[in-house]
Amino acid sequence: MKVYFHLNLESFSNCYFVVNELSKQAIIIDPGKINEQIIKQVEDGNLKLAAALITHNHMSHMNGLKTLKKIYDVEVYAADAEIAEKPSHVLKGDGSLTIAGMNVSYYSVPGHSADSIVFKIGNVLFTGDTLQAGIIGTTNSNYSKKTLVTNIRTKLLSQHDDTIVMPGHGPMSSIGAERMFNIDTETRKS
């Protein structure tokens, strides 16, 4: 498995490609914008784009989905049925699936948005806006923040220290670093 990073300069959001090197299949995560560089990577790598995973229903993470679906026959996985407009796989709760020959676990982590979902492939968590380097996603109430922090603690910070965090914005991190330095998730705060 290889992970490739693309930055959407319009919204400063992160987009990721996860490639199964054996099958030449790929998954795209949070396609905020589909540009020439992304299409070139798929075409030059002779990749079959198997799926698009959407961490939450915010435009900066899914705005390129319409373009992507015009070019490729791609399955869409998200927790919000409105995202894909047409056929999609609506994910509820926590679970796992096999996509592009890779095990993909998913965790429902509401708080930043009602449909926030985190994907795990190998030892990499794709967290969208749920968990970022040193911070958590914004919320609109104290209840939402408490829900988000509780879910981050139980579902994400329970992962191994060397689990890589690939957020929707900003630099990557690790669970060990977030457990140690993320002040929003410290156990003494509620």
- Other beta carbons within 10 angstroms of residue 114's beta carbon come to 12
Residues 6+ apart with CB under 8 A from 83: 54, 57, 62, 65, 76
* 187 Cα distance to chain centroid: 25
Of 122, 90, 89, 88, which is closest to residue 105 (Cα–Cα)?
Answer: 122
Going residue by residue through the chain (190 aa), what tens digit of pLDDT does each one get? 999 998 888 788 999 999 999 999 999 999 988 888 889 999 999 999 999 999 988 766 778 888 888 899 899 999 887 775 656 788 999 999 999 999 999 999 998 888 899 999 999 999 999 999 999 988 889 999 999 999 999 999 999 999 999 999 999 999 999 999 987 776 433 3
Contacts of 8 (CB under 8 A, 6+ apart): 14, 15, 32, 33, 60, 64
β pairing state of 124-128 and 95-99: unpaired
Give the DSSP letter of residue 35.
-
pLDDT of residue 189: 39
Dihedral sign of CA atoms 47, 68, 172, 125 in order = negative
pTM of the model: 0.91
- What phi, psi does 115 have (nearest 5°)? -105, 15
Cβ–Cβ < 8 Å for 62, 80: no
In this structure, are residues 167 and 127 in contact, taking their beta carbons and an 8 Å threshold? yes
